[in-house]
Amino acid sequence: MGFSLTGTHVIFFIAAVIVAGTVSGVFIAVTIDVTSSLSDRAQRVQEQLDTDFTIINDPNMIPRSGEYYLFYLKNIGGAKLLTTNQTFQVFINGELISVSDYYFSDTSIAVGGVTNLLVKTTIAAGDHILRIVGPQAITEVFIFTE
């Protein structure tokens, strides 16, 4: 009788510790997941805040280099900008330019730096809209006349 009472207490104790341990484990695992997601999100927000660029061409006179139109892209953000046709997408008058039809003269530009964006396309005379979507979906719209 005494041992069965002690045994019951021991069983309850072990069960309580196991339940507490399980709850703790789940709690810590969820905390790690949530913290990791929030960390990633904060990193993306930081990149968004640091990214900014602009097209500095004269809208009345877009230079050409052979069959390519030449646009000057300036990094006015707070961090180095990767300029490849994987990190940037180019639209002219709403149409996406194929990856093989545009390229940058530099793979990255420092803060304040300028790179050349060369776009191969056929543009009729008149007003056109160039839209460039960069990292973190930062967008720049440039209206020019051919």
Partner 1 sequence: MGFSTIASAAILGVAVLMAAEIITSDLLPKIESVNESYDDMKGRLRDQLQTDISILDVTRSLNGVNYDFTISVQNTGSVTLNTEDFIVLINGTGYLFTCSHTYLHPQVIGFFEVVDVAGDGEKRMKIITNNGVADYYTYVL
Binding residue for partner 1 (CB under 8 A) from 3, 4, 60, 86? 60
Judged by CB under 8 A, does residue 101 bind partner 1?
A: no
Which helix or strand (DSSP H or E) is residue 103 part of? strand 102-104
Cβ-based nearer residue to partner 1, 32 or 129: 32
Give the residue carrying structure tokens 């396309």. Answer: 121
Judged by CB under 8 A, does residue 139 bind partner 1?
A: no
Judged by CB under 8 A, does residue 138 bind partner 1?
A: no
Judged by CB under 8 A, does residue 106 bind partner 1?
A: no
Residue pair 117/72 in contact (Cβ under 8 Å)? The answer is yes
Judged by CB under 8 A, does residue 6 bind partner 1?
A: no
88 residue type, one letter? F
Contacts of 141 (CB under 8 A, 6+ apart): 129, 130, 131
Q: What is the dihedral of CA 69, 146, 76, 44, to 10 degrees?
A: -80
Interacting residue ranges for partner 1, rule: CB under 8 A: 9, 12-13, 15-17, 19-21, 23-25, 27-28, 31-32, 35-36, 38-39, 42-43, 45-46, 49-50, 52, 54, 56-58, 60-63, 70, 72, 74, 76-78, 112-114
